[in-house]
Structure 1
Amino acid sequence: MTKIVVVDNHGQFTHLERRALRDLGVETELIDNDVDPEEVDADGVVLSGGPDMDRIGRSVEYLEGDVPVLGICLGMQIIGVELGGRVDSGEYGGYADVTVDILEEDDPLVGSLAPETRVWASHADEVKEVPEGFTLTAKSDVCGVEAMSDTDRDLYGVQWHPEVAHTEEGDEVFENFVEICESAKVDAEAQA
């Protein structure tokens, strides 16, 4: 069975991320962001949202593993900052119901949501420039980088919260990430 861990960055919706994965039949565990990635055996990692960069524990170390990573809100910002992109304050600010335009229909994470989807997102901080190697996969009227992907390294991020009921196709984002993790697992087994 596929196992995906959710790294808890102290976000208010983190438990819903774990539940969304569990409801898809995935073995999942919510782990504190101070857990050493070397101690974690999983087929994928979700870096949860959270209040600020000062409380991300060892989240950055999970980017160095050999399994797919999905960053949600703060989790995406961690990926952005650590890999050479730029994060700054958003012009819009707090939570809002936003229409997101999907820019890459063949993207494995968000492409199936094309041409657009309604999401619940916080824009207090956001990725302003994607890191080298990443493709901008979604944007909105209030945020230029709503989602990004590096398919070569299996690193993905969404600014919005796919785990909350206000996001129309949130389950599909998690389903797509599970497929990414299962595909990576098959590839790794074939190379072993």
Structure 2
Amino acid sequence: MTKIVVVDNHGQFTHLEQRALRDLGVESELIDNDTPPGEIDADGVVLSGGPDMDRIGQSPAYLDGDVPVLGICLGMQLMATELGGTVGSGEYGGYADVTVDIVDDEDPLVGSLAPETRVWASHADEVTGLPDGFVRTATSDVCAIEAMSDPDRELFGVQWHPEVAHTEAGDVVFENFVDVCESQ
């Protein structure tokens, strides 16, 4: 059975990420972000959202593993920061229902959502510059980089929260990530 760990960065929806994976028939474990990656045996990693970069624990070390990684909100932002991209304050701020345009319909994570999808996202902070090797895969009127991908390294990020009921096709994002994890 496929196993995906959810690294808890103290976000309010983290438990829903684990539940979404379990609902897909995946073995999923919620782990504290102080857990060293060497102690984990998994086919994939989700870096959860959270309140701020000062509380990310060992999360950056998971980017050096040999399994696919999905960063959600803060998880995407720490991925960008750690790999040479930039993060800044969003002009929109707070949580909102946003229409996201998929700009890469071949992307293994969000391509199947093309041409657009409705999501629940926080834009207090957001990725403002892509790290080397990444491409922008989704955008919106309030955020230039709603999703990013480096398929060669199997690193993916979404600014929105696919685990919440307000997100239209959040389960599809998780299904696509499970497919990536199972295809390696």
Aligned to 2:16: 16
Q: State the Cα deviation string for residues 125-175 of structure 1 (Å, max 9, x = none).
A: 000011010010000000000000000000000000000000000000000
How many equivalent residue pairs? 184
Which whole-Å CA distance do the structure 2 matches of 1:162 and 1:105 have between them? 18
Which whole-Å CA distance do the structure 1 matches of 2:28 and 2:121 have between them? 24
User: Percent identity between the aligned chains?
Assistant: 80
Q: State the Cα deviation string for residues 78-108 of structure 1 (Å, max 9, x = none).
A: 1000000000000000000000000000000
Which whole-Å CA distance do the structure 2 matches of 1:135 and 1:183 have between them? 21
Are 2:157 and 1:154 equivalent residues in the alignment?
Answer: no
Aligned to 2:89: 89
- What stretches of structure 2 of length at least 5 have no aligned partner? none
- The Cα RMSD (Å) is 0.2
Aligned to 1:116: 116
Q: How does 1:39-54 map to 2 (within 5 A)?
A: 39-54=39-54
Which whole-Å CA distance do the structure 2 matches of 1:141 and 1:130 have between them? 18
Aligned to 1:76: 76
Which whole-Å CA distance do the structure 1 matches of 2:171 and 2:36 have between them? 28
1:113 is displaced (CA, Å) by 0.1
- What stretches of structure 1 of length at least 5 have no aligned partner? 185-192
Which whole-Å CA distance do the structure 2 matches of 1:4 and 1:103 have between them? 27
The runs of 4+ residues in structure 1 deviating greater than 3 Å are none
Q: Secondary structure at the match of 2:98?
A: strand
Which whole-Å CA distance do the structure 2 matches of 1:130 and 1:120 have between them? 22
Aligned to 2:171: 171
Aligned to 2:38: 38
Which whole-Å CA distance do the structure 2 matches of 1:82 and 1:63 have between them? 9
Which whole-Å CA distance do the structure 1 matches of 2:102 and 2:129 have between them? 17
Q: How does 1:103-142 map to 2 (within 5 A)?
A: 103-142=103-142
1:7 is displaced (CA, Å) by 0.0
Q: Residue type of the partner of 2:63?
A: L
Which whole-Å CA distance do the structure 1 matches of 2:90 and 2:83 have between them? 20
Are 2:180 and 1:180 equivalent residues in the alignment?
Answer: yes
1:122 is displaced (CA, Å) by 0.1
TM-score by length of 1: 0.96
Which whole-Å CA distance do the structure 1 matches of 2:169 and 2:113 have between them? 7
Q: Secondary structure at the match of 1:41?
A: coil
Q: Secondary structure at the match of 1:67?
A: coil
